[in-house]
């Protein structure tokens, strides 16, 4: 009863401000350079784990179609779909064998067309993953390329003939020996693969490769999609003389690999050939090694990409915890570097990370919901385009597999083997992966408390997290104070307040080790956001009287009248206040 009363009062409270807060237009804010992709909230769907429609245990396009009303109900504007192209699935679709077809597990091109139609009918845009740093070794190009040294496709990839000796070492992220050169006896040569052996790197120096990729992009853009996420693209350009790197380079391989020669030329060409001809957004995975690199990718005058996502923030979480002071410093630094020019996406999780609440929050029963809501508050009130990963809106948690047999991610399986080969402590490795592994974020979406969380009637391709019994969309749908409904309120608040998108960011109470407080201000409006990142009470001095609490993750803040500039926050408490 108390809960219901609170919810009614929260709705009343929000509607009190609704007129004022939810009605800004460009002319009233004076904001220039508005773009739909800056104002959008992006929801990432991992198709393999979202919803299975045919009982084979693997999520598919029809499954997504059946959940479009749910997706719409989140209030998001854009869906980013992980790769759905034909693939032998060495890396769950990041190894494409046919860029113009749909992976059999996921359905057909007709399903894809219905998906786009269904999304557009609901006002949702679709961003596709573009995986063109490498293809699958089962792509026709590679089959041709490896068949002989003189094949016309030979230069689609990077080959090093063994008569020249062994090439200088390159580090592979997913290879069992971390060796990026794979010897192929068929032509007595090595080919390059920065990721797995089944993901040979394409040769971007070859203009034919570039034209092929641009054609593929046009094929999808002509089908009506609304954008591309460029997978691992900062690694696409290489110094093809393959010089030796200093010893130990592999510990900082990004420094050597990212932003190679001509990368910007390739992006400019891509922009001219594709982006400039369609109303599509573009986002790069990775933002180079410096702000300068990042700006060079996204400054609009350069006509390359719309935005990039940087890893510095998302990499802060460590198994032993992280320092909030560090977190604040990183996000404030990135914000100020892009305050005037360029644009970034803002995110703390995706399919390459473990779960948001388990990495950056606290997934113990007492704090899971509070901290999941607090982290969502952070993402939705920062400058940049928010990217939110499916399941995080429910506060889904890490599964914490204990045995290697439970894992499906080839990068973990190969690394486990590597650890064994070098006689490292595999138990220690497995312990670390309980925190870090990508499979933590890839367990099936938890729809309800029926068998397999309502994800499939078959055997799921990866285990369902047993906590689906009490963490699932159906339960949260009916609870006005759930993570899910809190997320919807946050999206609404952001969508209706351009100042949260474009406004000036100012860090307050900078040296506070537990509380992250900041204002977002622009054109007559000022929001104050206060977030307690700790599991204990914490005090903050924000220098202004706290009033007009618009949204909070505790259920009693409608009674809270804090007129003084010092406030004691409860564990993981999050407040959004309207100061003017």
Please identify every residue annotated as catalytic: 231, 285
Q: Per the structure block, which two tokens stand in for 251?
A: 């510990």
Q: Does 407 bind ligand GLC (CB under 6 A)?
A: no
To the nearest whole angstrom, how small is the minimum distance from the Cβ of residue 350 to ligand GLC? 7
Our CB check for ligand GLC shows the closer of 42 and 131 to be: 131
Per-residue x/- track, 296-335, ligand GLC (CB under 6 A): ----------------------------------------
- Helix or strand or coil: residue 189? strand
Q: What does the CA dihedral 439, 441, 443, 445 come to, rounded to 10 degrees? A: -160
Q: What is the CA radius of gyration of the chain?
A: 24
To the nearest whole angstrom, how small is the minimum distance from the Cβ of residue 422 to ligand GLC? 22
559 CB-contact burial (10 Å; exposed 0-12 / middle 13-18 / buried 19+): exposed
Q: Per the structure block, which two tokens stand in for 363?
A: 């997934």
Our CB check for ligand GLC shows the closer of 20 and 312 to be: 312
Q: Does 195 bind ligand GLC (CB under 6 A)?
A: yes
To the nearest whole angstrom, how small is the minimum distance from the Cβ of residue 149 to ligand GLC? 27
To the nearest whole angstrom, how small is the minimum distance from the Cβ of residue 98 to ligand GLC? 16
To the nearest whole angstrom, how small is the minimum distance from the Cβ of residue 520 to ligand GLC? 29
Our CB check for ligand GLC shows the closer of 53 and 353 to be: 353
Our CB check for ligand GLC shows the closer of 238 and 368 to be: 238
d(CA 16, CA 382): 24
CB atoms within 10 A of CB 58: 25
Q: Does 439 bind ligand GLC (CB under 6 A)?
A: no
d(CA 433, CA 545): 44
422 CB-contact burial (10 Å; exposed 0-12 / middle 13-18 / buried 19+): exposed
Our CB check for ligand GLC shows the closer of 94 and 160 to be: 94
d(CA 170, CA 243): 10
d(CA 230, CA 258): 14
CB atoms within 10 A of CB 120: 14
Our CB check for ligand GLC shows the closer of 351 and 368 to be: 351
Q: Does 477 bind ligand GLC (CB under 6 A)?
A: no
Q: Per the structure block, which two tokens stand in for 401?
A: 């597999």
The only residue of 232, 263, 354, 542 in contact with ligand GLC, by rule CB under 6 A = 232
Q: Does 111 bind ligand GLC (CB under 6 A)?
A: no
Our CB check for ligand GLC shows the closer of 178 and 506 to be: 178
To the nearest whole angstrom, how small is the minimum distance from the Cβ of residue 410 to ligand GLC? 9
Q: Per the structure block, which two tokens stand in for 290?
A: 């410096």
To the nearest whole angstrom, how small is the minimum distance from the Cβ of residue 119 to ligand GLC? 22
In the region spanning residues 11 to 70, those forming contacts with ligand GLC, defined by CB under 6 A, are none
Q: Which long-range contacts (CB under 8 A, 24 or more apart) does 288-292 make?
A: 288/234, 288/258, 288/259, 289/254, 289/255, 289/258, 289/259, 291/334, 291/337
To the nearest whole angstrom, how small is the minimum distance from the Cβ of residue 204 to ligand GLC? 15
Which candidate, 315, 182, 171, 322, places its Cα nearest to that of 251? Answer: 171
In the 3-class helix/strand/coil scheme, how is 145-157 assigned residue by residue? HHHCCCCCCHHHE
β 181-184/189-192 pair status:
antiparallel
- Helix or strand or coil: residue 183? strand
**Residue 67 belongs to what H/E stretch?**
none
Interface size with ligand GLC, residues (CB under 6 A): 9
In the region spanning residues 126 to 155, those forming contacts with ligand GLC, defined by CB under 6 A, are 131
List of residues 6+ apart from 473 with CB closer than 8 A: 70, 394, 445, 446, 447, 448, 484
Are 194 and 131 a contacting pair, CB within 8 Å?
Answer: no
> Sign (positive/negative) of CA torsion 330, 334, 335, 336?
positive
In the region spanning residues 344 to 363, those forming contacts with ligand GLC, defined by CB under 6 A, are 351-352
To the nearest whole angstrom, how small is the minimum distance from the Cβ of residue 93 to ligand GLC? 9
Q: Does 91 bind ligand GLC (CB under 6 A)?
A: yes
In the 3-class helix/strand/coil scheme, how is 5-36 assigned residue by residue? HHHHHHHHHHHHHHHHHCCCCHHHHCCCCCCH
Q: Does 231 bind ligand GLC (CB under 6 A)?
A: yes
Residue 43 sits at φ, ψ, to 5 deg, of: -115, 120
To the nearest whole angstrom, how small is the minimum distance from the Cβ of residue 344 to ligand GLC? 17
> Which residue number has the CB closest to ligand GLC?
94
The only residue of 94, 220, 416, 502 in contact with ligand GLC, by rule CB under 6 A = 94
Our CB check for ligand GLC shows the closer of 222 and 315 to be: 315
Q: Per the structure block, which two tokens stand in for 295?
A: 């700006």
Interface with ligand GLC by CB under 6 A: which residues? 91, 94, 131, 195, 231-232, 285, 351-352
């Amino acid at each position: 009863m108390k809960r219901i009363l609170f919810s009614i009062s929260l709705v009343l409270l929000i509607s009190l401000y609704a007129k004022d807060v939810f009605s800004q237009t460009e002319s009233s804010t004076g904001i220039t350079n508005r773009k739909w992709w800056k104002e959008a909230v992006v929801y990432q769907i991992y198709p393999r784990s979202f919803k299975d429609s045919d009982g084979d245990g693997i999520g598919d396009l029809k499954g997504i179609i059946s959940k479009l009303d749910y997706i719409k109900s989140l209030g998001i504007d854009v869906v980013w779909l992980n790769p759905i192209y034909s693939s032998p699935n060495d890396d769950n679709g990041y190894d494409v064998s046919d860029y113009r077809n749909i992976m059999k597990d996921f359905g057909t091109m007709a399903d894809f067309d219905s998906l786009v139609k269904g999304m557009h009918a609901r006002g949702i845009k679709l961003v596709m993953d573009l995986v063109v740093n490498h293809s699958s070794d089962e792509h026709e190009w590679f089959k041709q390329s490896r068949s002989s040294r003189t094949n016309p496709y030979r230069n689609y990839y990077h080959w090093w003939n063994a008569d020249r000796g062994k090439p200088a070492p390159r580090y592979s992220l997913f290879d069992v020996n971390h060796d990026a050169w794979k010897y192929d006896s068929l032509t007595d040569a090595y080919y390059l693969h920065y990721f797995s052996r089944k993901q040979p790197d394409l040769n971007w120096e070859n203009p034919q490769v570039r034209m092929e990729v641009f054609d593929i992009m046009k094929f999808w853009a002509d089908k009506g999609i609304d954008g591309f996420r460029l997978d691992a693209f900062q690694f696409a350009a290489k110094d093809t003389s393959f010089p030796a790197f200093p010893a130990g380079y592999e510990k900082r391989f990004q420094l050597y690999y990212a932003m190679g020669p001509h990368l910007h030329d390739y992006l400019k060409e891509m922009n001219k050939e594709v982006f400039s001809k369609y109303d599509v957004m573009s986002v790069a995975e990775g933002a180079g090694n410096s702000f300068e690199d990042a700006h060079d990718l996204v400054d609009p005058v350069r006509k390359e990409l719309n935005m990039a996502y940087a890893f510095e923030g998302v990499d802060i979480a460590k198994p032993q915890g992280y320092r909030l002071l560090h977190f604040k410093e990183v996000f404030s630094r990135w914000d100020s570097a892009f305050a005037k020019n360029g644009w970034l996406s803002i995110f703390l999780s995706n399919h390459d990370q473990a779960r948001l609440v388990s990495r950056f929050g606290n997934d113990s029963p007492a704090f899971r919901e509070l901290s999941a809501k607090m982290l969502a508050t952070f993402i939705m009130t920062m400058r940049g385009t928010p990217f939110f990963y499916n399941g995080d809106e429910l506060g889904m948690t890490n599964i914490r597999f204990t045995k290697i047999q439970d894992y499906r991610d080839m990068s973990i399986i190969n690394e486990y083997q590597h650890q064994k080969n070098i006689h490292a402590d595999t138990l220690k490795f497995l312990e670390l992966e309980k925190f870090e592994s990508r499979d933590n974020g890839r367990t099936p979406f938890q729809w309800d408390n029926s068998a397999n969380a309502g994800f499939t009637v078959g055997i799921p391709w990866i285990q369902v997290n047993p906590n689906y019994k009490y963490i699932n969309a159906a339960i949260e749908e009916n609870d006005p104070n759930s993570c899910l409904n809190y997320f919807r309120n946050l999206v609404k608040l952001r969508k209706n307040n351009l100042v949260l998108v474009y406004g000036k960011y100012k860090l307050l109470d900078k040296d506070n080790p537990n509380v992250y407080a900041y204002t977002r201000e622009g054109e007559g409006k000022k929001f104050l956001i206060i977030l307690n990142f700790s599991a204990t009470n914490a005090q903050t001095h924000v220098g202004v009287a706290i009033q007009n609490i618009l949204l909070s993750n505790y259920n009693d803040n409608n009674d809270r009248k804090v007129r003084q500039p010092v406030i004691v926050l409860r564990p993981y408490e999050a407040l959004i206040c309207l100061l003017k």
